[in-house]
Amino acid sequence: MNLIVDAGNTYVKVAVFQGDKMLSHESFEKKLFQKKIEKLLKTHAEIDQMITSSVTTFSDDTKQFIANLDLKVHKLTHKTKVPFQNNYATPETLGVDRIALVVAAVAQYPKTNVLVIDAGTCITYDFKTSDEIYLGGGISPGIQLRYKTLNLLTANLPLLEPKVPENYIGNTTESAIHSGVTIGVITEIDGIIERYKGQFEHLTVILTGGDTNFLAKRLKNTIFANSKFLLQGLNTILEYNRYND
């Protein structure tokens, strides 16, 4: 049984898998890490291995806590064995979250051209070919980041909650911000999908990340929405390395 840990800057997502079946998942603040993991290990005594993926660093106390666990612990890095050919020019700078997303694409959509769009703090685009070769993709600011940047880096623009305006022509400052951010993101994503479709036949597009529900029904292109895609990719990596260490 596998324990999957995806740690962000503030929140941690965890999941428990039996083979490829997700038994449970939850999200909590980083400060609750030890308490939550201890509870999970008591609830699922059969857990024998764990993978950690982090875009930030754990505290020394948390690192020691993980080191003391009676589990086989795998820390995901760019050196981890994965079931695809990585053609990224600087693999040491490739985010571990993006590695996990590509692995999920390989596992769930083999021999298929796949573009994975992760709409979170940043919007990342990751593409793997039908030959299971990762070519790279793109990174742009996410929805919340765009709203916050407009507020923080200007003198008079307010901080707003995401909303798609009724008219793309904003006739107030607030509606103009909503238009620029939300319609801008939707147009960006649709436009990038069209570029990939123009170059690669039979393209499958996966949308994941925190803003999946907000965006999924607003995109004109056909996409498959899966908010658990990264966790599934991490589990696949753990299973792959169970037999390939």
pLDDT tens-place string over residues 204-220: 999 999 999 999 999 99
Q: Residue 6, annotated ligand binder? A: yes
Is residue 61 among the annotated active site residues? no
At 89, is the secondary structure helix, strand, or coil? coil
Does residue 70 sit in the same domain as residue 91?
no
pLDDT digit string, tens, across residues 59-99: 889 899 999 999 999 999 999 999 999 999 999 999 999 99
194 and 90 assigned to the same domain:
yes
7 is in an annotated binding site: yes
Of 31, 54, 75, which residue constitutes the final position of a domain? Answer: 75
User: Both 228 and 122 in a single domain?
Assistant: yes
Same domain, 101 and 170: yes
Known binder of ligand: residue 106? no
Q: Supply the CATH number for residue 133's domain.
A: 3.30.420.40
| Measured distance CA(60)–CA(178) in Å, rounded | 41
Q: Which of 17, 46, 75 is the last residue of a domain?
A: 75
Residue that finishes a domain, picked among 75, 107, 128: 75
> What is the count of structural domains for the chain?
2
Query: Do 150 and 69 fall within a single domain?
Result: no
> Does 239 map to a domain?
no
Identify the CA nearest to 164 among candidates 210, 226, 213.
213
> What are the residue ranges in the chain where pLDDT is below 50?
none
pLDDT given at position 60: 87
Answering whether pTM is above 0.85, one says yes
Q: Which domain holds residue 45?
A: 2-75
Residue 240 lies in a domain: no
146 known member of a binding site: no
How many C-beta atoms surround the C-beta of residue 153 within 10 A? 8
Of residues 48, 60, 70, 97, which has the active-site annotation? Answer: 97
pLDDT score at 244: 64
Tell me, yes or no, whether 245 lies in a domain. no
121 is annotated as contributing to ligand binding: yes
Q: Which two tokens stand for residue 143?
A: 């929805």
97 annotated as a binding-site residue: yes
Nearest to 2 by CA among 229, 245, 219, 234: 234
